[in-house]
Amino acid sequence: MTITNGASDKAYQEGLAAASKATVPNTVKERILRGELAHSFSIKLVKSVEIIHYAAAAGYDAVLIDLEHSSLGLETTNQLSCAALQVGVTPIVRVPANTSDWISRALDGRAAAVIVPHVNSVAEAENVVRYAKFAPLGERSVTSGMPILKYASVPAKYANPVANDATLVIVMIETERALENADDIAAVPGIDIVLIGSSDLTSDMGIPGDYDNQRLTDAYAKVSAACKKASVDGRIVTLGIGGLNPRPDLIEKFASLHSNARYAMSGADKSIMLNGMKAGAAKCRVMTEKIVSGRSQ
């Protein structure tokens, strides 16, 4: 890992290396750096830590704990995040608002990545970085014993840059206004992933849920180009695919079209449970019909 902050003395670099070694690996970031596609499983309903173990057993790279579209609170979020770190699944938290009290507390509470919805301007993107990153990138309040550093007591001069490097900052493009500002948003230092919220974006476009519409395809191309433009001097800005859980064919399409599409929201507890239960109930109805038909003969 390379961290540049103007320091070059051997002792400092050794301190950074030791802190980096203590850091919990970020599976999503590792996949991004390898040019692969990382998949997350969204949690909106199930509050018990068992859901984390199921996600890990299923093979997901990350869990997305969704505070924007659920009634989950920070206490539950922090426990789920802690469980994810323990089993090697990256905990991502989508906060409900672009404010320090949500972003920094989610990160202090064990999240390794934060998603901020409805980012429409450079100023709003800069706010996200300000709240999510320690100085000099941002203004996140310094804390000690961070879970991402396995609770080790690491001096701030080492812990802060290492935590900055290990924490993914994800902003969402969900309106036509944001789409128009995609180049400038992606260029904001500290932004790692620009994630398209396909559901809200199509709604703002006046084509709600029309995911096959060429306008959405064009939107992905525009944001992909913005991410490529911002990926300079060793920096990688990734295109994210969101809101297409029911359409894995489109996730595959956009990831195939754009080599910098390396993160996708690819499942959710509510939809997978409902679909599984529907399939089971359908089998029950067929079974009942066969039994009733056999008894009447």
- Residues designated catalytic: 69
Give dist(CA 36, CA 81) in Å, integer: 23
Nearest Cα residue to 165 out of 151, 148, 182: 148
In this structure, the number of other CB atoms found within 10 A of the CB of residue 73 comes to 10
For residue 174, give the nearest of 128, 214, 121, 226 by alpha carbon. Answer: 121
What would the DSSP string read from start to end of 192-204?
A: -EEEEEHHHHHHH
Residue 219 buriedness (CB in 10 A; 0-12 / 13-18 / 19+): buried
Specify the length of the chain in residues. Answer: 297
By the 8 A CB rule, do 186 and 223 touch?
yes
Is omega for the bond preceding 136 within 30 degrees of 0, making it cis? yes
Phi, psi (degrees; rounded to nearest 5) at 21: -65, -30
Which ranges constitute the DSSP H helices of 196-260?
198-204, 214-230, 248-257
